[in-house]
Amino acid sequence: MSEIEQGRTLKISVVRFDPQIKNDTPRVETYSVTEAPGMTLFIALNDIREKYDNSLQYDFVCRAGICGSCGMTINGRPGLACRTLTSTLEDEISLAPLPVFKLIGDLSVDTGKWMRNMSETVETWIHEEVCPDSHYLEEKMEPELADEIYELDRCVECGCCVAGCGTARMREDFVGAVALNKLARFELDPRDKRTSDHFYELVGDDNGVFGCMSLLGCEDVCPKELPLQSKIAYMRRKMVAMKDT
């Protein structure tokens, strides 16, 4: 295991605001934390909550970079807090909630409602007329195609791409890279019987694939390193072809 520097005093500044408390105002509070070996922001925040401020709000679930709960702005950049080692950061660390999403309190935002709405809007499920009878052999699929679909299916809906998106800041109903990647995933999947017509209905406008300004902050901040740039471009080419017909 790599040796990790011990004993630094970290100054962690956190944006604090609880909309549930009447007359509460946003402010920044700074906590001093003694760095421990292998410390992640998950460990540091728990430390702060247990020792200094029991009311500090944030979201962790798997604490292993798998579930996507802990997206927050770390030194100005959206990322997953649980797998951010403090050893990779300077002594002064600033934490803020992800923008775009509704604030629950402090570092906690409501990505759940946003993602469900996105799922309903672009219908992130397999569209098939008849479900195969599960007593019989499953439909075959080329192994490479299954791998390609999985590659795009790895999205954890953490919201970092949305928080890093210029369009999402300006356009409330923009579906975001998360949705466009999902549609690219379903478009690839032969089990989904939707045609380009259907996809055009869903994202062939400025709240969809034509809203993207190609700033591509989404791809820069995606913790799963999904190929968002090429998938948005792919969907756009498909939709442009539709527009022209």
Partner 1 sequence: MNIIYTDVLVIGGGLAGLRTATGVKERGHDVIVLSLIPPKRSHSAAAQGGMQASLGNSFKGEGDNEDVHFEDTVKGSDWGADQDVVRMFVNTAPKAIRELTGWGVPWSRVKEGDREAIINAKKVTITESKEAHGLITARDFGGTKKWRTCYTSDGTGHTMLYAMDNKAIEDKVETHERMEAIALIHENDRCYGAVARDLVTGKLTAYISKATTIATGGYGRIYKVSTNAIICEGTGAAIALETGVATLGNMEAVQFHPTAIVPVGILTTEGCRGDGGLLKDVDGYRFMPDYEPEKKELASRDVVSRRMTEHIRKGKGVKSRYGDHLWLDITILGRAHIEKNLREVKEICESFLGIDPAEEYIPVRPTQHYSMGGVRTKPTGESQTLKGLYSCGEAACWDMHGFNRLGGNSVSETVVSGMIVAEHIADFCDVEDSNIDVSSNTINKFIKIEEDKIQALVASKGGENAYELRDEMETIMMEKVGIFRNGDDLKKAVDELEALHIRSKNIQLKTSSKASNPELVNAYRTQMMLKVALTVAYGAMLRTESRGAHAREDYPERNDKEWLKRTITTWPDENQTLPTVSYEDLDIMSMELPPGFRGYGNDNTIHHDDSKKRQDTVDKVREELTQKGADRFEIQEALLKYQQNLPPKYRGKNERLTERLS
Which positions lie near partner 1, rule CB under 8 A?
Answer: 1-2, 4, 18, 20-21, 37-38, 40, 49-50, 54-57, 59-69, 83, 85, 104-105, 108, 111-113, 115-116, 119-120, 123-126, 128, 131-132, 134-143, 146-147, 149-150, 153-154, 156-157, 186, 189, 191-192
Cβ atoms of 228 and 177 within 8 Å: the answer is yes
Tell me the HSE value of 58 on the side-chain side, using a 13 A CA sphere: 31
Q: What 8-state DSSP symbol labels residue 85?
A: B
CA angle (104 as vertex; 102, 105 as ends), nearest 5:
125
Nearest approach in angstroms of CB 71 to partner 1 is 11
Q: Work out how close the CB of 204 gets to partner 1 at its nearest, in angstroms, rounded to a whole number.
A: 21
Residues 6+ apart with CB under 8 A from 218: 160, 161, 162, 164, 165, 176, 177, 228, 229, 232
Q: How far is the CB of 181 from partner 1 (least distance, A)?
A: 12
Distance of CA 103 to the CA centre of its chain: 15
The answer to whether 238 touches 197, Cβ cutoff 8 Å, is no
Do 154 and 66 contact (CB within 8 A), yes or no?
Answer: no
Q: CB 24 → partner 1: shortest distance, Å?
A: 11
Nearer to partner 1, 66 or 241 (CB): 66
| Residue with Cβ nearer partner 1 (17 or 210) | 17
Our CB check for partner 1 shows the closer of 116 and 169 to be 116
Q: How many whole angstroms separate alpha carbon 192 and alpha carbon 144?
A: 17
Nearer residue to partner 1 within complex by CB, 125 or 169:
125
* Least Cβ distance, residue 63 to partner 1 (angstroms): 6
Angle (deg, nearest 10), helices 228-244 and 196-203: 100
Please, what is the minimum distance in Å from the beta carbon of residue 196 to partner 1? 19
Nearer Cβ to partner 1 (79/236): 79
Rounded Cα–Cα distance for residues 19 and 218 (Å): 28
Residue placing its CB nearer to partner 1 in the complex, 121 or 196: 121
Q: Give me the least distance between CB of 245 and partner 1, in Å please.
A: 28
**Please, which residue, 108 or 167, has the CB nearer to partner 1?**
108
